[in-house]
Amino acid sequence: MPPYYCVERLLVGAEVKDPIISIVIPTYNHANFLRSALDSVVAQSFKDWEVVVINNYSDDDTIEVVQSYKDPRIQLVNFANHGIIGAARNYGLSIAKGAFIAFLDSDDFWYPKKLDACVRMLNTGYDLVCHAEVWSGPGTHRRVVQYGPEKKASYENLLFNGNCLSTSAVVVRRSFLDLAGPFDESRNIITAEDYDLWLRLARAGARIGFLTEVLGEYRIHGANQSHAALRNMHAVMKVFQKHCDSLVDPVAISRKKRREAIILYSGARSLQANQQFGQAWGYFFKAIGCYPWIPKVYVAMVFNLFKRSPK
């Protein structure tokens, strides 16, 4: 752990010994969301868990929210992560005791059967389970998102076709996390450190399974969605290039170019969806320059010409 990280451990009640599942919740100034996240954990039908809340020295009432539960299974750690959420999750992992690890962002929440359903599937031989969830927001918008399927979670498919998992929807076997290594704390992959971890878990041989049952909600909020999407696009590109640096086979290099073009296209589409049509052109042209044989890029460009966004 880099020396500039500051850690202050605040226990809420007595520590729990060897729970089956450890739930790691990083948070910063999300007290209004954190309560519903913790409520959703307490309401789980599966009860053998601990929660480790990693608080980035919030200046709202986060500490009071956590302490109000008076639940010995919940502990709070103040940890200055300097904007690196992977560092917060890694510290949570370093003190977690469970055989399985679940991640829950403090602005998301689960349905009551989530842990029970995931543990049942893990006990059939899977090393990581990811379930469907509702994407809620912005505003009143809601849609169900299915992840996977299993064939898309191989290392090769995750690398060349993109991420098909969601952090708050994942429960993973601790032994495979130890094998694959912790979250990468590099600043240039912030927002895509989870994608890098799934790639490393798949490369290490983890068996990844998916549940079609909707077992949680991922909240979309914030004023500048396009900025966040572009930041994620650049982070995904860095992760992809990190894993592809050693490619020399011509077929693999062609697939690399296609994947890079799709990543650039995603940036253009995020700008387009935010009605920033002028800025979107630059990413569309970069995508074509990288790999010109992707029909949907040209379709989206026609929509952009008329200042519209495809559905």
Same domain, 249 and 210: no
Same domain, 197 and 296: no
| Positions in the chain whose pLDDT score sits under 70 | 1-16, 223-226
Secondary structure of 237-254 as H, E, C letters: HHHHHHHHCCCCCHHHHH
Of 203, 219, 235, which one is at a domain's C-terminal end? 219
- pLDDT score recorded for residue 24: 98
- Please tell me the pTM assigned to this model: 0.92
Q: Structural domain of residue 295, as residue ranges?
A: 225-305
With tokens 């800025």, the residue in question is 279
Same domain, 186 and 284: no
pLDDT tens by residue, 160-207: 999 999 999 999 999 999 999 999 999 999 999 999 999 999 999 999
Residue 311 inside a domain? The answer is: no
Same domain, 36 and 181: yes
Same domain, 69 and 149: yes
Report the CATH number at residue 140: 3.90.550.10
Spatial CB neighbours of 87, under 8 Å, sequence gap ≥ 6 = 1, 2, 5, 79, 81, 183, 185
Whole-angstrom Cα distance, residue 295 to residue 121? 38
Structural domain count of the chain:
2
Whole-angstrom Cα distance, residue 129 to residue 274? 33
Same domain, 242 and 178: no
Same domain, 104 and 204: yes
Degrees to nearest 5, angle at CA 295 with 290 and 301: 80
Residue 66 inside a domain? The answer is: yes
